[in-house]
Amino acid sequence: MSNKEIDKLLLMLLDDDSSFEKLYEQTRVIVFAYIMSLVKNYDDSKDILQETYIKIYKASSSYQSMSKPLAWIYTIARNECYLYLRRQTYTEEYQDNVVLPMYMDKDTQLILENLFEILNEKERQVIIMHSLWGFKHHEIAKLLEISISTSLSCYHRGMKKMKKEMGINL
Amino acid sequence: MNKIYQAFQSITPNNIESIKEQAQLREGKVDIYMEPKRRSLYYKVCLIACVCVIGFSIFSLRKDHTVFATVGFDVNPSIELNIDEEEKVIEVLTYNDGGQKIIGDMKLEDSHVDVAVNALIGSMLKEGYIDELKNSLLISVIGDNKENNEKIRQRVSQDIDGLLKDYHVQGSIMSQNLQRTTALEDIAKKYHISIGKAELIQTLIEKKPTYTFENLKDLSVHDLNVLLISYDVNNIQVDGEVSTSQYLNQNQIKSLVEKDAKVTQPVYKEIQLDSEDGMIVYEVEFVKDGIEYEYELNALTGDILKKEIEKEKKSVSSKHLSESEAKTIAMNHMKVSQVEDYSIKKEYDDGVYEYKVELINGNKKYEYKIDAVEGTILDYEVEKITASSNQKRISYSKARSIALQHAKLSMNQVSDMDVELDDNHYEVSFKAKGYEYDYEINVFSGKIIDYEKEKDD
């Protein structure tokens, strides 16, 4: 889905019920992948995903047309994740354990386990932002406040690790 | 298709309906703050080049300039700029690591205070010390020249408000203008906080004596601002609303406590943000069925930290409701805002004071028994009454005065006055001078149908 289409959906969100549904359908997987990559807990990620879309809905009234609407969605998802992580530190419940879903098919399990166990957080985030969200490396660099070369090397190093571990091209 | 995408696709939940439902229920507006577009290189150079401080009344050792005033910034890290008479920064003081992080490698000395403010705010936003959730900033102008301080305070807080708006952040700027006193300086030193924050805490303590420096010093400036909402203060100017959206809202809190107490629609006496052990909490008090509940919840997580459930003691010394309060309770229950006529009597029955209220509305008579202390409805009845097409009913008070007139007594000579409507006559009873009087009066003509006067025993 192109940026232009997402921009259009966001602009019509409050007037047209189906816009929100379309937007949700088109973006929920990448948003969820991003949240998971940061939060690493499947159950909590589900809640954050829900909250993110509620915020998208509520914030859409002040949304103004932009060329990279995905960055706007990204900002909301990131804020929700940070809020969650901050609360965890606040309540001292923070656990660094990865919690994956109870049931999933073998392929999914293999990919997720590798993503969360072999890659470090930055590599995982850059890969998801680049290959799922379609962000360019200079955009990732800006969003994550890292240099372009770091973004590039994280991506290539991460993909190489995955390939080596799984023996396949992703 | 991308295998990673497929993997996530198979585990991503799909619950659009519940999201839509909640989004529509959720109140309030959400504003998203995006990283502003990078400014030109020139701007960056300028930003790095210029941050400055304000001076005040002692001599700076580093330069020959006199410190004319100090401008303090508190987000949570605290920064103070000492400036000279020309409002150029002579010295930058930071109170903690965060402060140092904000300053980074910026050289603020020798630049004008306005330029320095600009650079500091930019850096605070970039480092995430101000955002849509923690939108508070405390500006303190400290110095001996009150008038001049005030000018600086106004200008700086306006500047900052404008800057934040450029970054799409609705800031809540607290600003104050104070004189440096040794007492304040000692406190600031003792608790390792800035003078501005010390003054802010001092203000809160004056408003609520149970607060202490010990338990407020670790709160962020934003949290202190949240506490400040509950009080009227005039020495601190607050521009812009403090964001409480990081906390649960009152409705969420209500549903949490109601669920825990297993009650519905209680009467809330208090829901207030407060501070406890360096954290922001909600204090909630409500009453249901005469039982008083007190809760304290973590405002961020909704965890219940404390609860007290206490049955209100029914004692004669308890404050009784007024007659008009009792009448209002009955009318609220009837869901009307006015009635044609009414009569109220207070009675003592089985150890409980209660109001007996009779109200006429249309062709119905409502009879309520209301607990005079708690205001709960103990019993009620609705009865159809005969209406006459061409005759108007006389009022309760008219019936009462007819009886009193006949007995040659005035209202202040009698006790236990009771007027009841019974079908097509009023029963008026009262006691006076050792006698008990009973009258039956026709509701339309006002004629006395029957009367008795007996010795009261």
The string over B91-111, giving b where at least 16 C-beta atoms fall within 10 Å of a residue's C-beta and e elsewhere, is bbebbeebbeebbeebebbbb
Contact B34 A24 (CB under 8 A): no
Please give the backbone phi and psi of residue B220, each rounded to the nearest 5 degrees, phi first: -75, 165
Contact B191, B197 (CB under 8 A): no
Chain A residues touching B20 at Cβ < 8 A: 17, 20, 57
Mean pLDDT computed over A147-166: 89
Please give the backbone phi and psi of residue A76, each rounded to the nearest 5 degrees, phi first: -65, -45
Domain ranges of chain B: 41-239, 250-271+279-310, 323-384, 396-455
Residue B124 Cα, gap to closest chain A Cα (Å):
15
Band of residue B311 on the pLDDT scale cut at 50, 70, 90: low
pLDDT, one tens digit per residue, over B11-45 is: 999 989 899 888 888 877 677 766 554 444 444 34
pLDDT, one tens digit per residue, over A117-156 is: 899 999 999 999 999 999 988 889 888 988 888 888 999 9
Average pLDDT, chain B: 80
Chain B residues touching A42 at Cβ < 8 A: 11
Average pLDDT, chain A: 88
Kindly tell me if the per-residue pLDDT of A46 is higher than 90.
Answer: yes
In percent, the amount of chain B with pLDDT more than 90 equals 8
CA pair distance A152, B351, nearest whole angstrom? 82
Residue A4 Cα, gap to closest chain B Cα (Å):
19
Chain B residues touching A115 at Cβ < 8 A: 4, 7
Contact A32 B14 (CB under 8 A): no
Query: Out of B4, B13, B15, whose CB is closest to A111?
Result: B4
Band of residue B425 on the pLDDT scale cut at 50, 70, 90: confident
Domain ranges of chain A: 1-99, 101-170
pLDDT, one tens digit per residue, over B170-186 is: 778 888 888 878 888 88
Contact A6, A70 (CB under 8 A): yes
- B131 against B382, higher pLDDT: B382
User: B250-271+279-310 has which fold?
Assistant: Nuclear Transport Factor 2; Chain: A, (3.10.450)
Please give the backbone phi and psi of residue B82, each rounded to the nearest 5 degrees, phi first: -95, 130
Highest-pLDDT range among A54-58, B46-50, B376-380, B409-413: A54-58
Query: Out of B12, B26, B133, whose CB is closest to A28?
Result: B12
Tell me whether B8 touches chain A (CB under 8 Å).
Answer: yes
Which numeric CATH code is attached to A101-170?
1.10.10.10
Contact B5 A132 (CB under 8 A): yes
Mean pLDDT computed over B368-387: 84
CA pair distance B380, B376, nearest whole angstrom? 11
Structure confidence at residue A95 (pLDDT): 62
Which numeric CATH code is attached to B396-455?
3.10.450.40
User: Of the given ranges (A44-53, A59-68, B342-351), which has the lowest mean pLDDT?
Assistant: B342-351
Tell me whether B32 touches chain A (CB under 8 Å).
Answer: yes
Structure confidence at residue B164 (pLDDT): 81
pLDDT, one tens digit per residue, over B211-221 is: 888 888 888 88
Which numeric CATH code is attached to A1-99?
1.10.1740.10
Contact A50 B12 (CB under 8 A): no
Residues of B (212-251) whose Cβ lies below 8 Å from A: 246
Band of residue B315 on the pLDDT scale cut at 50, 70, 90: very low
Domain B323-384 CATH (choose: 3.10.450.40, 3.40.50.2300, 1.20.910.10, 3.90.190.10): 3.10.450.40
Contact A83 B6 (CB under 8 A): no
Residues of B (35-64) whose Cβ lies below 8 Å from A: 35, 38
Look up residue B205 and give its two tokens: 């303590």
Residue A120 Cα, gap to closest chain B Cα (Å):
16
Residue B298 Cα, gap to closest chain A Cα (Å):
10
Query: Out of B5, B31, B279, whose CB is closest to A62?
Result: B31
CA pair distance B167, B93, nearest whole angstrom? 26
pLDDT, one tens digit per residue, over B56-68 is: 333 333 444 577 8
Query: Out of A29, A58, A87, whose CB is closest to B5?
Result: A29
Could you report the predicted ipTM of this complex, rounded to two decimals? Answer: 0.93
